Chain A
Amino acid sequence: PAHADENTADTAPMEGNSDAAAGTDVVQAAADALEATGTQLSREGGFGLGRRALEAEVAAWDIDIRPDGTGLPEGSGDVWTGEEVWVENCAMCHGDFGEAVGRWPVIAGGWDTLDRKDPVKTVGSYWPYLSTVYDYIHRAMPFGNAQSLEPDQVYALTAYILYLNNVVEDDFELSRDTFLDVEMPNADGFFPDDRAEAELAQWRTEPCMENCKDAVEITMRARVLDVTPEGEADAVETAAEAPAEAVSATDMATDGNATELEVAEAEAETPREDTVAVEAVPAEEVAALDPELVASGEKLFRQCQACHAVGEGADNKVGPQLNGVVGRTAGSVDGFRYSSALEDANAEGLIWNHETLAAYLEDPRGYMPGTKMSFRGLRDTADRDAIIAFLASHGQ
Chain B
Amino acid sequence: QADPAITELQPWMRYLGEGVDARPYGHPSEHEAHVVRRNVEWLTADPVSSVNFTPLHELDGIITPNGLCFERHHAGIAEVDPAQHRLMINGLVDTPLVFTMADLMRFPRVNRVHFLECAANSGMEWAGAQLNGCQYTHGMIHNVMYTGVPLRLLLEEAGVKTGGKWLLAEGADASAMTRSIPMEKALDDCLVAFKMNGEALRPEQGYPVRLVVPGWEGNMWVKWLRRLEVGDQPWEHREETSKYTDLLDNGRARKWTWEMDAKSVITNPSPQAPITHGRGPLVITGVAWSGRGTVPRVDVTTDGGVTWHEARMSGPSMDKSMHRFYYEMDWDGAPLLLQSRAMDSTGYVQPTKDMLRQVRGENSIYHNNGIQTWAVNANGEAENVEIS
Please list the residues of chain A having a beta carbon within 8 angstroms of any beta carbon in chain B: 1-4, 7-15, 17-24, 29, 32-33, 35-39, 41-42, 46-47, 49-53, 57-58, 61-68, 93, 102-104, 114-115, 117-119, 121, 123, 126-129, 131-132, 135-136, 139-140, 143-144, 146-147, 189-195, 198-200, 203-205, 207-213, 215-223, 225, 227-229, 235-236, 238-239, 242-243, 246, 248-256, 258, 260, 263, 267, 302, 305-306, 317
Q: Are B131 and A253 interface neighbours, CB within 8 A?
A: no
Q: Are A203 and B348 interface neighbours, CB within 8 A?
A: yes
CB of B174 within 8 Å of the partner chain: yes
Closest residue of A by beta carbon distance from B165? A9
Q: How far is the CA of A47 from the CA of B154 in the complex (A)?
A: 9
Q: Which residues of B contact A260 (CB under 8 A)?
A: 42
Q: Which residues of A contact B38 (CB under 8 A)?
A: 229, 235
Q: Are B386 and A220 interface neighbours, CB within 8 A?
A: yes
Closest residue of A by beta carbon distance from B120? A253
* Least distance between A145 CB and chain B CB atoms (Å): 8
Q: Which residues of B contact A21 (CB under 8 A)?
A: 293-294, 296, 317-319, 345
Q: Are A204 and B130 interface neighbours, CB within 8 A?
A: no
Chain B 238-267 per-residue mask, 1 if CB under 8 angstroms from chain A, else 0: 100111110101111111111101000000
Q: Are B49 and A228 interface neighbours, CB within 8 A?
A: no
Q: Which residues of B contact A305 (CB under 8 A)?
A: 48, 76
Q: Are B150 and A37 interface neighbours, CB within 8 A?
A: yes
Q: How far is the CA of A260 from the CA of B188 in the complex (A)?
A: 42
Whether A37 touches B95, Cβ cut-off 8 Å, given contacts A14-B184, A250-B123, A253-B366, is no
Q: Are B319 and A51 interface neighbours, CB within 8 A?
A: no
Pick from A36, A53, A62, A118: contact of B150, CB below 8 A. Answer: A36
CB of B311 within 8 Å of the partner chain: no
What is the interface size of chain B, counting residues whose CB is below 8 A from a CB of the partner? Answer: 144
Pick from A221, A229, A235: contact of B383, CB below 8 A. Answer: A221
Q: Are A220 and B128 interface neighbours, CB within 8 A?
A: yes
Q: Are B233 and A229 interface neighbours, CB within 8 A?
A: no
CB of B197 within 8 Å of the partner chain: no
Among A66, A127, A243, A302, residue most surrounded by chain B Cβ atoms (within 10 Å):
A66
Q: How far is the CA of A211 from the CA of B307 in the complex (A)?
A: 6
Additional A-B contact list (20), CB under 8 Å, known A9-B165, A36-B110, A144-B48: A7-B233, A18-B345, A18-B346, A19-B293, A21-B294, A23-B317, A38-B151, A42-B152, A57-B88, A62-B229, A132-B237, A140-B75, A192-B255, A200-B348, A203-B348, A207-B343, A246-B130, A254-B50, A256-B43, A256-B45
Q: How far is the CA of A218 from the CA of B338 in the complex (A)?
A: 12
* Least distance between A319 CB and chain B CB atoms (Å): 12
The 9 closest A-B pairs by CB, nearest first: A38-B150, A2-B91, A12-B182, A18-B293, A115-B251, A239-B41, A216-B304, A253-B120, A2-B231
Pick from A209, A215, A217, A227: contact of B299, CB below 8 A. Answer: A209
Pick from A66, A135, A189, A203: contact of B253, CB below 8 A. Answer: A189
Chain B 255-298 per-residue mask, 1 if CB under 8 angstroms from chain A, else 0: 11111010000000001000000000000000000101110100
Q: How far is the CA of A176 from the CA of B127 in the complex (A)?
A: 42
Q: Are A57 and B349 interface neighbours, CB within 8 A?
A: no
Q: Are B236 and A66 interface neighbours, CB within 8 A?
A: yes
Whether A209 touches B185, Cβ cut-off 8 Å, given contacts A35-B110, A62-B229, A140-B74, is no
Interface residues of B in 58-112 (CB under 8 A from A): 72, 74-76, 88-92, 95-100, 103, 106-108, 110, 112
* Least distance between A118 CB and chain B CB atoms (Å): 8
Closest residue of B by beta carbon distance from A204? B347
Q: How far is the CA of A191 from the CA of B90 in the complex (A)?
A: 29
Pick from B96, B292, B349: contact of A52, CB below 8 A. Answer: B96
Closest residue of A by beta carbon distance from B79? A302
Closest residue of A by beta carbon distance from B164? A2
Q: Are B176 and A207 interface neighbours, CB within 8 A?
A: no
Q: How far is the CA of A286 from the CA of B59 in the complex (A)?
A: 46
Q: Are A41 and B294 interface neighbours, CB within 8 A?
A: no
Q: Which residues of B contact A129 (CB under 8 A)?
A: 236, 241
Question: Helix, strand, loop or mixed for chain A's interface?
Answer: loop
Q: Which residues of A contact B153 (CB under 8 A)?
A: 38, 41-42, 47
Q: Which residues of B contact A253 (CB under 8 A)?
A: 119-120, 123, 243-244, 365-366
CB of B9 within 8 Å of the partner chain: no
Q: How far is the CA of A41 from the CA of B187 in the complex (A)?
A: 13
Whether A41 touches B362, Cβ cut-off 8 Å, given contacts A33-B189, A66-B231, A209-B308, is no
CB of B332 within 8 Å of the partner chain: no
Closest residue of B by beta carbon distance from A13? B256
Q: Can you list 13 A-B pairs with a CB-CB distance of less than 8 A?
A: A1-B231, A12-B183, A21-B294, A33-B189, A37-B188, A53-B97, A102-B45, A103-B44, A139-B238, A190-B253, A193-B254, A193-B257, A204-B347
Q: How far is the CA of A252 from the CA of B119 in the complex (A)?
A: 11
Q: How far is the CA of A102 from the CA of B344 in the complex (A)?
A: 42
Pick from A52, A143, A222, A255: contact of B95, CB below 8 A. Answer: A52
Pick from A19, A37, A223: contact of B132, CB below 8 A. Answer: A223
Q: Are A191 and B255 interface neighbours, CB within 8 A?
A: yes
Q: Which residues of B contact A229 (CB under 8 A)?
A: 38-41, 136
* Least distance between A90 CB and chain B CB atoms (Å): 14
Q: How far is the CA of A2 from the CA of B92 in the complex (A)?
A: 6
Among B237, B247, B351, residue most surrounded by chain A Cβ atoms (within 10 Å):
B237
Q: Are B387 and A218 interface neighbours, CB within 8 A?
A: yes
Q: Are A251 and B189 interface neighbours, CB within 8 A?
A: no
Whether A3 touches B237, Cβ cut-off 8 Å, given contacts A192-B256, A216-B337, is no
Pick from A20, A50, A93, A207: contact of B345, CB below 8 A. Answer: A20
Q: Which residues of B contact A24 (CB under 8 A)?
A: 294, 317
Whether A3 touches B232, Cβ cut-off 8 Å, given contacts A49-B157, A211-B307, A251-B365, is yes
Q: Which residues of A contact B170 (CB under 8 A)?
A: 61, 64
Q: Which residues of A contact B305 (CB under 8 A)?
A: 212-213, 216
CB of B191 within 8 Å of the partner chain: yes
Q: Are B120 and A252 interface neighbours, CB within 8 A?
A: yes
* Least distance between A331 CB and chain B CB atoms (Å): 23
Q: How far is the CA of A239 from the CA of B48 in the complex (A)?
A: 17
Q: Are A10 and B386 interface neighbours, CB within 8 A?
A: no
Pick from B49, B150, B247: contact of A254, CB below 8 A. Answer: B49
Pick from B98, B249, B343, B387: contact of A216, CB below 8 A. Answer: B387
Pick from A66, A93, A192, A249: contact of B45, CB below 8 A. Answer: A93
Q: Are A119 and B247 interface neighbours, CB within 8 A?
A: yes
* Least distance between B304 CB and chain A CB atoms (Å): 4
Q: Are A216 and B306 interface neighbours, CB within 8 A?
A: yes
CB of B378 within 8 Å of the partner chain: no
Q: Are A14 and B182 interface neighbours, CB within 8 A?
A: yes
* Least distance between A188 CB and chain B CB atoms (Å): 8
Whether A250 touches B365, Cβ cut-off 8 Å, given contacts A193-B256, A220-B385, is yes
